């Protein structure tokens, strides 16, 4: 398993320096045939599209290899500073179309496949998503990698190679049913196993203090149960620039010694069981967003990632720099994607002290000059904490280091605020209580030189609220980095018709410099351009309608307003407010209140955490309302409702180009940023949204006339909390009353009595944290303005064009440039191409 020892060296230039492979049609065809026939063993009787896909994936992958090698050696040989993005999640989606786009072979490959009688699109569609993430945080990591490669920044991603990604969601009788996502079943042509870089990660055992022969005090971690981390590398091509960066994903494997002891003692079955226990670590992605329930396996995953990745970086450093660490901190930077990998702080301390023999102060100087932490949530329940006893059992040496970090930190707090024991208790990394807890966010803040939020409002609220004490102590650490999305996948790849139209008018420079797309703003009043824009949108709506027909068996009419909300199902995101509006529209139709009506197709999609009962009930409510509305002949084309099962990256690639109205309804102050909102905007959808997260910045960019704002501000939400009286709101609002009556009388659950009582009670509770009732009126009024605007096609198309035109800020190229200029300070590394 570990091939570290035996080495031979290759001096043959013909092996180490190969010319780049041809991108011409005949060569693509030749290589494709080779893979199909010789590597995959297929012939003229083959029918499975999987093999056709795989042969093409291997053909395209070959074209990345030379560039990949050049990039890697370029970084090592130039001794440049490198960045590492540590994340438990990378929601990559499909790779083939993206790779072809970025190396610029889509058209030639299409031609080559055409000559073989194959439709390229069919092969692209055969790829399964790499769904190694829950939602926004995981997809952000994927977009970041694309932008780092495009900006030619030496950044490597580190994550876990989960055997099972995000569960597949089926809807049975209107309810969510989870199915395992065995995405690796047919192999993954994009990964390359690198057993020679395997690392060993320790768990359990205890620490032993000892003296070296030279008399120095040292600690070693002994009696541990070890797990191997085997890396699998995935190429990350930049956009037409020769750079190919690396995403390194770790798979857990048992050590030989791990099961041998038991095996020798005669326990064959037990030995295999132990092996499973080791391999369980990378078995499955935890499907919870926003709350964690203290599972040991999750902490194992977190430490496994942090430890394997840091050992990997340090091993490379020691090899290249012969063990000299004086430049380590100026040449390395670790960005922590939320607190999930924050064990990296004590783990780097451990490696530097226990493995490299450094003193505390020197190790700490390095650690807190190389770590940077990004926060992604304001919900207090989403802040990770681990019971101290559990932590100490699993990671005794790491806890020991955390306690020392905390002791020194508390001394600093005490000297800054002498006698303020309240503050010391508040800020301690260890929360007191019946069972003390390790507060991972505080650990990350104390160990990092930079702490950032992901949108302006979010960063401001962090400094004033959740992390207030820390902001007072270290204001210089805090900063904002507004999120973005990559325009390669989220316009160029997913919306080819729009891309062609835009490029025809302003050239294709916008793909690598999205600010340029603002030049189409000047065409917003050009009738010919508007007409063509409208036609593109209509054709994308037909594509989306076909998806809805196939997945939900609901007929969406492309002439209607396509009103879409897709994201994780969570109370704070308020899918509930959306469905209350749908019920209100239904009620109006039934009452005959339809003067000047705008036909509407409402699409809602997203996964609920398997243990989140309320979120699952909201899915059931949406399904039931859809059933009643769609089956009512009196409603007809005026209103259609569908719940789209199994929302994913690939689904979004069809959804956002075909959307007219983007629903961003979170309770103000709760959504850190949102990134779906940006994908919709780029593709010419108009937003209806609260003043929350990045919505605020979207509205600023596009102008208030081109954005439908509604709802309380985050300050108003906080202020009225104490006098919140939803029942009074309901009784003073006829429309809301009618909606609540329909719910209460069981109109949507005729044969499922009482089913939606928890939802009714939540809306009516004065303690409803999401204040759904408070924003109902303002939401319905804003929707009325939307409906009116949509009737004026010229006006709507103009708004749509301006949304795309003003989306330049929301490219991750801008986000990553900000990270680089203000946190990482990496030098772009051009790669020599084409000799
Ligand atoms: C179970 C551990 C856990 C805890 C929190 C897993 C996942 C989370 C997050 C809340 C995940 C997440 O996706 N957060 C989102 O991050 C996006 C990228 O910054 C933001 O745009 C979203 O507003 C935020 O909800």
Best of 672, 680, 819 for a ligand 1 pocket test (most atoms within 8 Å of beta carbon): 672
Burial of residue 90 (CB within 10 Å: 0-12, 13-18, 19+) is buried
The residue whose CA is least distant from atom 7 of ligand 1 is 289
pLDDT value at 1 more than 50: no
Q: Give me the helices (H) in 483-594, please.
A: 487, 496-506, 527-552, 575-591
Instruction: Give residue 481 CA to ligand 1 midpoint distance, Å.
Output: 15
Instruction: Say whether 451 sits in a helix, a strand or coil.
Output: strand
Residue-level pLDDT at 455: 98
* Residue 124 pLDDT > 60: yes
CA of 100 to the centre of ligand 1 (A): 30
Contact 704/688 with Cβ under 8 angstroms?
no
Give the model's confidence band at 233: pLDDT under 50 very low, under 70 low, under 90 confident, else very high.
Answer: very high
User: Whose CA is closest to atom 18 on ligand 1?
Assistant: 137
- Protein residue with its CA nearest to atom 4 in ligand 1: 290
Half-sphere exposure (Cβ direction) of 479: Cα atoms closer than 13 Å: 16
Question: Helix axis angle, 396-416 relative to 360-370, nearest 10°?
Answer: 80
Alpha carbon of 135 to ligand 1 centroid (Å): 7
pLDDT tens for each residue of 745-780: 999 999 999 999 999 999 999 999 999 999 999 999
Measured distance CA(16)–CA(26) in Å, rounded = 25
Q: Give CA–CA dist 761/92, Å, rounded.
A: 39
Ligand 1 centroid–CA 572 distance in Å is 12
Cα torsion angle, 618, 292, 159, 677, sign: positive
What is the DSSP secondary structure assignment for residue 47, as one 8-state letter? Answer: -
**Rounded CA gap, 655 and 644, in Å?**
10
* CB-CB contact of 258 with 226 (8 Å): yes
- Residue indicated by tokens 């780049």: 20
Contact 62, 105 (CB under 8 A): no
pLDDT grade, residue 218 (50/70/90)? very high
The predicted-structure confidence for 783-835, as pLDDT tens digits, reads as follows: 999 999 999 999 999 999 999 999 999 999 999 999 999 999 999 999 876 53
What separation in Å is there between the alpha carbon of 91 and the centre of ligand 1?
A: 12
Closest Cα to atom 3 of ligand 1: 289
> Please, what is the average pLDDT of the chain?
95
- Cβ-count burial 626-659 (b if 16+ within 10 Å, e if not): bebbbeeeebeebbbbbbbbbbbbbbbbbbbbbb
The length of the chain in residues reads 835
Ligand 1, atom 16, lies closest to the CA of 137
E-strand ranges in 606-749 read 639-644, 661-664, 686-689, 708-709
Residue 617's Cβ-count burial label (10 Å; 0-12, 13-18, 19+) is buried
Residue pLDDT, tens place only, 599-639: 999 999 999 999 999 999 999 999 999 999 999 999 999 99
Read off the pLDDT of residues 406-448 as tens digits, 9 standing for 90 and up. Answer: 999 999 999 999 999 999 999 999 999 999 999 999 999 999 9
Prediction pTM value = 0.97
Atom of ligand 1 nearest to the CA of 135: 13
The two tokens of residue 121 are 């699109």
Say if residue 18's pLDDT is above 90.
Answer: no
**Could you give the percent of the chain with pLDDT greater than 90?**
92
The distance between the two most distant Cα atoms of the chain, rounded to a whole number of Å, is 91
Instruction: Report in angstroms the alpha-carbon separations of 41 from 54, 723, 790, 823.
Output: 12, 71, 55, 50
Q: Which of 648, 667, 798, 678 is nearest to 724 (CA)?
A: 667
Nearest CA to ligand 1 atom 12: 137
| Nearest atom of ligand 1 to the alpha carbon of 88 | 6
pLDDT of res. 561: 98
- The DSSP symbol for 10 reads -
- Ligand 1 centroid, distance to 290 Cα (angstroms): 6
Q: Which atom of ligand 1 is nearest to the CA of 458?
A: 23
pLDDT mean over 217-239:
97
CA distance 410 to 424: 6
Strand partners, 584: none
Q: What is the dihedral of CA 316, 317, 323, 326, to 10 degrees?
A: 180
Out of 377, 572, 674, 690, give the residue to mutate to test ligand 1, the one with the largest number of ligand atoms within 8 Å of its CB.
Answer: 377
3-state secondary structure of 90: strand
Active site residues: 376, 567-568, 573, 675, 679
Report the 10 Å Cβ neighbour count for 142.
26
DSSP secondary structure letter of residue 811? B
Q: Is 688 helix (H, G, I), strand (E, B) or coil?
A: strand
Ligand 1, pocket residues at CB < 6 Å = 134-137, 140, 286, 288-290, 292, 376-377, 382, 454, 483, 671-675, 693
Of 179-183, 255-259, 264-268, the range with the lowest mean pLDDT is 255-259
Residue 477, H or E segment:
none
- CA dist 444 and 424 (Å) reads 17
Look-up of token digits 């999640």: 89
CA of 371 to the centre of ligand 1 (A): 20
- 2 or 293, which is more confident: 293
Q: Do residues 211 and 186 lie in contact, with contact meaning Cβ atoms separated by under 8 Å?
A: no
**pLDDT band at 272; cut points 50, 70, 90:** confident
Q: Whose CA is nearest to atom 21 of ligand 1?
A: 674
**C-alpha 728: how far from chain center:** 40
**Which residues contact residue 785 at a Cβ distance below 8 angstroms, ignoring those fewer than 6 apart?**
708
How do strand 130-132 and strand 90-93 relate by DSSP bridges? antiparallel
Candidate from 85, 339, 376 with most ligand 1 atoms within 8 A of CB, to mutate = 376
DSSP E strand boundaries for 588-670: 600-605, 639-644, 661-664
- Please, which residues have CB within 8 angstroms of residue 374's CB and are 6 or more apart in sequence? 335, 336, 337, 338, 451, 452, 453, 454, 481
Q: What is the pLDDT of residue 801?
A: 98
Mean pLDDT of 114-136: 97
pLDDT at residue number 3: 47
Average pLDDT over residues 153-170: 98
Counting from 1 in the atom list of ligand 1, the atom nearest the Cα of 139 is 18
The DSSP annotation for 706-731 comes to GSEE-S--HHHHHHHGGG--HHHHHH
pLDDT attached to residue 2:
45
Structure confidence by residue, pLDDT tens digits, 445-481:
999 999 999 999 999 999 999 999 999 999 999 999 9
CA of 306 to the centre of ligand 1 (A): 19
């Amino acid at each position: 398993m570990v091939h570290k020892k035996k080495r031979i060296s290759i001096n043959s230039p013909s092996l180490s320096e190969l010319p780049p492979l041809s991108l011409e049609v005949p060569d693509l065809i030749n290589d494709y045939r080779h893979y199909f026939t010789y590597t995959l063993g297929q012939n003229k009787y083959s029918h499975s599209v999987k093999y056709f896909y795989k042969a093409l994936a291997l053909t395209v992958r070959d074209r990345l290899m030379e560039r990949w090698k050049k990039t890697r050696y370029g970084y090592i040989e130039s001794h440049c500073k490198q960045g590492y993005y540590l994340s438990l999640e990378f929601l990559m989606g499909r790779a083939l179309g993206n790779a072809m786009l970025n190396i610029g072979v889509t058209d030639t490959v299409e031609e080559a496949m055409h000559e073989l009688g194959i439709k390229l699109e069919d092969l692209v569609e055969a790829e399964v998503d790499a769904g190694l993430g829950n939602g926004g945080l995981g997809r952000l990591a994927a977009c970041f990698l694309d932008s780092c490669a495009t900006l030619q920044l030496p950044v490597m991603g580190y994550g876990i190679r989960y055997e099972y990604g995000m569960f597949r969601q089926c809807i049975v009788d209107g309810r969510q049913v989870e199915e395992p996502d065995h995405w690796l079943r047919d192999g993954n042509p994009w990964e390359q196993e690198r057993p020679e870089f395997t690392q060993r990660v320790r768990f359990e055992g205890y620490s032993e203090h000892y003296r070296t022969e030279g008399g120095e005090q040292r600690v070693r971690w002994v009696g541990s149960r070890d797990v191997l981390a085997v890396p699998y590398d995935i190429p990350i091509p930049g956009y037409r620039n020769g750079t190919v960066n690396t995403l390194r994903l770790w798979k857990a494997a048992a050590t030989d010694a791990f099961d041998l002891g038991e095996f020798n003692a005669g326990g064959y079955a037990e030995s295999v069981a132990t092996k499973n226990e080791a391999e369980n670590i990378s078995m499955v992605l935890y499907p919870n967003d926003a709350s964690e329930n203290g599972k040991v396996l999750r902490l194992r995953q977190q430490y496994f990632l942090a430890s394997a990745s840091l050992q990997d970086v340090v091993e490379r450093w020691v090899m290249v720099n012969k063990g000299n660490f004086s430049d380590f901190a100026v040449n390395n930077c670790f960005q922590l994607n939320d607190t999930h990998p924050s064990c990296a702080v004590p783990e780097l301390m451990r490696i530097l002290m226990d493995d490299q023999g450094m003193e505390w102060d020197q190790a700490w100087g390095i650690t807190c000059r190389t770590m940077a932490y990004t926060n992604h949530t304001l919900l207090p329940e989403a802040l990770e904490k681990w019971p101290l006893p559990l932590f100490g059992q699993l990671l005794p040496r790491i806890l020991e280091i955390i306690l020392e970090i905390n002791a020194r930190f508390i001394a600093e707090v005490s000297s800054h605020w002498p006698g303020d024991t309240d503050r010391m208790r508040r800020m301690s990394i260890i929360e007191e209580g019946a069972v003390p807890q390790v507060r991972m966010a505080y650990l990350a803040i104390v160990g990092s030189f930079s702490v950032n939020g992901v949108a302006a409002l979010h960063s401001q609220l962090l400094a004033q609220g959740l992390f207030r004490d820390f902001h007072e102590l270290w204001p210089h650490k805090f900063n904002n980095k507004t999120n973005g999305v990559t325009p390669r996948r989220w316009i160029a790849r997913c919306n080819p018709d729009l891309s062609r139209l835009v490029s025809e008018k302003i050239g294709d420079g916008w793909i690598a410099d999205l600010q340029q797309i603002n030049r189409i703003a000047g065409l917003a009043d050009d009738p010919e351009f508007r007409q063509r824009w409208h036609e593109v949108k209509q054709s994308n709506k037909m594509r989306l309608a076909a998806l809805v027909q196939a997945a939900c068996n609901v007929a969406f009419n492309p002439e209607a307003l396509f009103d879409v909300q897709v994201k994780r199902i969570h109370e704070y995101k308020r899918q509930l407010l959306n469905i209350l509006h749908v019920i209100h529209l239904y009620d109006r139709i039934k009452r005959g209140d339809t003067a000047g009506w705008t036909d509407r197709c409402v699409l809602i999609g997203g996964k609920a955490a398997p243990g989140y009962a309320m979120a699952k009930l909201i899915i059931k409510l949406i399904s039931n309302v859809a059933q009643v509305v769609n089956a009512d002949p009196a409603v007809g084309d005026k209103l259609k409702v569908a719940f789209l099962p199994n929302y994913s990256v690939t689904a979004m690639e069809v959804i956002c180009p075909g959307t007219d109205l983007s629903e961003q309804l979170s309770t103000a102050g709760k959504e850190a940023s949102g990134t779906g909102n940006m994908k919709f905007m780029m593709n010419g959808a108009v937003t209806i949204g609260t003043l929350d997260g990045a919505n605020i910045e979207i509205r600023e960019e596009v102008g208030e006339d081109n954005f439908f704002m509604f709802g309380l501000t985050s300050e108003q939400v906080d202020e009225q909390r104490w006098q919140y009286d939803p029942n009074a709101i309901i009784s003073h609002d006829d429309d809301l009353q009618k909606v609540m009556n329909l719910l209460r009388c069981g109109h949507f659950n005729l044969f499922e009595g009482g089913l939606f009582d928890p939802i009714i009670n939540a809306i009516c509770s004065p303690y409803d944290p999401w204040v759904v009732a408070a924003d109902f009126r303002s939401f319905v009024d804003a929707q009325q303005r939307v409906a009116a605007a949509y009737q004026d096609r010229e006006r709507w198309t103009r708004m749509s064009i301006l949304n795309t035109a003003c989306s330049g800020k929301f490219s991750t190229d801008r986000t990553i440039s900000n990270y680089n200029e203000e946190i990482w300070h990496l030098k772009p590394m051009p790669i020599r191409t084409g000799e």
